[in-house]
Structure 1
Amino acid sequence: MKIRIGDKVKFLNDIGGGTVVSIESSKMVNVENEDGFEIPVMVNELVVSNAMQEADLSEEEEDENVAIEEEEDWRYQEELPDLKGFVEINVQEDNLDPEYYMALIPNAPESPIHKGLQLFLVNDSNHTLLFHFSKQDGSYYETIETGTLEPNMRFNLMEMKERDFEKKPTFAFQVIPFRKRNQELPPFLHREIAIDPVKLHKKGAFVSNEFFTKDAHLIRLNEAPTNEVEEALENISIKEVKKAIREQGDLKRPKHMMGAIVSQNLDLKEVDLHIDALLDNTNGLSKSEMLRHQIEAFNKEMESAIKDKIKRIIFIHGKGNGTLKTQLYKEHRKRYIKYKIQDASFQKYGYGASLIILRK
C-alpha cells in the first residue's frame, strides 16, 4: 500500500483518522488527527480514504514523500495468534536445534542510528514461544510487547528512534518455548541485552541472513555472551559512542587468524574461504574473479564433504560487506537446498561463518 503526504486516512485499530503530514519510513508515517495532534502510526494500521490512493508510481520512481508498505516473506508474523484452539504451523523437519534471535533492521543502512531501526523477535525453532519483551527504565522494566510467536516466524516488536540511543538501551526477553507434544520441557529463557550503538556503526554490523531480505544485526538470545570484549563494551561511555558515530566508516576488518582449510574429523569440517587462504597470489585478479574462486572452493568442499559423509561443515567467509556470504547462500539455495544452513557459533566466529548440516 502506498501512502503520500496529504492523504486522508482512517485508523484500522482505533476510532477516527486524520491527514498524513510526514513520512518517517516505509513502515511509519505521522498523522495529524482531528484534534490537531500529530501522532506516529504504522502504515499497516491505516487505510487511505481519498482518491489519491488510486494514483500509482513506477518502480523506478523514487519519492521521499511516499511511504510504500514493503512485502515481506511468509516468515513475518503480522499479528500475534490466540492460543485457543492452538495448532502448530510452519514446523520444519530439520529444524531440531532451537534458536531465538533479536534482530535489528535499519531503516537506512547508511545511517542506522539517525534514521532508526526496526527491532524483531525471530523464532528459528519448531517451538511456539510465549514471550514478554520489556525495556529497562532505571529500576523498573517497562513492558513493550507480550504474546505468542509461532514456529519459524518473526515479529516486529518496536521501532527504535535516535532518541532511544541517548542512553544505551537495555531490553529484557522472557520466553517460554513449548510444543503440542514433547519428550521433555525446554528451559525457560531470560535474557537482558544492552544495545551498543558503537557496534551498529561498525563495518559488517548488518549482514545478509536467512530471516530477512535486508541485512540485519542478529543477537542470539539462547546463547549468553562470554566474549571478554563484549563484556568490556558494556561499560563504554556516551562520549565514546558519539566519537564512533563521527568516525563512521573508518573501521577496517582485522586480518583473519583462521589459517588454511582444515579438515578435523568426520563430524565437522572447517573451510576458510578468505581469498588469501585459497590463493598464494591474487595480483591482477578483479573482485569478481576472486569471488568466483571462492564460490568454486565452496562447491568443491561441499561435494567432498557429502561424498565423505561429513556431518557438518563450517565455511568461514568473514563479515566484510556481506557479498561472499550472500553469494554463498544463493549457491546453497541453487545446489544444496536440502541441507540446512545457519550462522556458525557466534562465540567462535562472530557473524563471520556459516554452518551447513549435511546429516544428523
Structure 2
Amino acid sequence: MKFKLGDFVRFVDEKREGYVTKIIDAQTLGVTDSDGFEIPVVVSNLTYVHGHGNTEIEKEEMPKPVVVNVPAISKVENGIYVAVANDNKAGNVVHFHLQNQTPTTMLVSIHAFRKDKYSSVFYGVLESFSSSLIYSASLADLDIWPEFSFQFLLHHKDDVKPVNPLNLLKKFRAKDFSVEQKDLPQLKQKGWIIRLDEQAPLIDAQKLKESFFKTAEEKKTVAVPSKEVDLHIEKLRDDYHFLEPDEMLNIQLAVFQSTIDAAIVHHFDKITFIHGSGNGVLRSKIHKLISQNPQVKTYMDAQKEKFGYGATEVVFK
C-alpha cells in the first residue's frame, strides 16, 4: 500500500495511530502519534485507517461536506477560502479545510503535483456556505509540500448567468503562516485563512500606455521617497489618537502605495517598509499588494538585526 503525507494510519503490531508527516525513504515513513512524537516506521508495519476523513477519498464514496450556519461566518467576506488549523492532538500537523463562502454550489477537483508527478487530493460537491477537510500535512515540512491545482465549477440555483470555471495553482509559502492566527468560526479554533478566488486588479491599458510617454519633467514632479519608509501611524499623522482602526489602516496603505509608485518612477533597486509586527494586518495587506505589482522582482523580511520582524524589503526588476 502506498501512503502519502497526511494519511491517518494504524500500526500493525501495536495499538497506536497517527498521521504520516514525513517520507523518509521508499520503505520508511515518519508517523506523528497523538503525543506529538514523530516515529520512523517501516511501511509494511502500517495500515491505512479508512473513514477517518483525511486526504484519501474512496472512489466509491463522494465526500460529505460539513454544512455550517451562515451567521457563524458573517465576519468572513464572500469568497473561496482555505482554512488551515493545527491538529488538536498532533501539534505539528495542520489540516486544510476548503470553505465555500458563496451562495453557489461548487463542483471541486483538487490535485497535488511535485516533479511532474500528480495525485488526487479531493473531489466532490461543496454546497454554499459549507466546509470540507481536503488535506493534512506537517507544518515542519512546508518546504516539501506539493503545489496544488484547484478547479472550481460554480453552479447557481437561481436565475443567474453562469460564470466561467475557476482554475488556479497554489503553492503555500512560509509567509502564509507567518501572520498571527485568527479565529476560524467554522472550525471553532484558531488558524490561518487564505483566500483563493481574489484576482489582481485589472490594469487600465490606456493609462499604462500614457505612463510610458510621460516626459522627464512630469516624472520629476514625483518626490523621491526615502529608502526606508516607516508606516507606523504615529509617524504619519499627529491626530492618530482620534482615528478609527480602519482609518489608520487606509492611511498607512495609501502612503505605502504612493511610496512604492514613487520608488518605481525613480528606478529604485529596492526599498524597505517598516510596518511593525502587531496583529499582522498591515503586513499582510502590503504583502498582498507587493505580490500583485508587476514591477516587483521579490520581497523578504528586512534585516532582523536592524528592524526585528517588523519590516519588509522590496526588490524591483
TM-score (norm. length: structure 2): 0.46
Higher strand share: 2
TM-score (norm. length: structure 1): 0.41
